[in-house]
Structure 1
Amino acid sequence: MDWTRVRELREEVGPEAFSEVLALFLQETDEMVERLRADPDPARLADDMHFMKGAALNLGFEELATACNSGESQARLGHWDTVDVAAILACYARSRAALLAESDTLGFTLAEAS
Structure 2
Amino acid sequence: MIPKNKHDLEAVNELHQMPESEVIPLLPQLLEWIQDMNWPVAESVLEVLLQYPTELTPHVEEVLLGEDDMWIYWCLVRVFPELPYFSKLVLANAVEQLAMQRITPFNEDNVEAAKEALRSLETL
Give me the TM-score of the superposition, normalised by structure 2: 0.28
Higher relative contact order (CA 8 A, sep 6+): 1
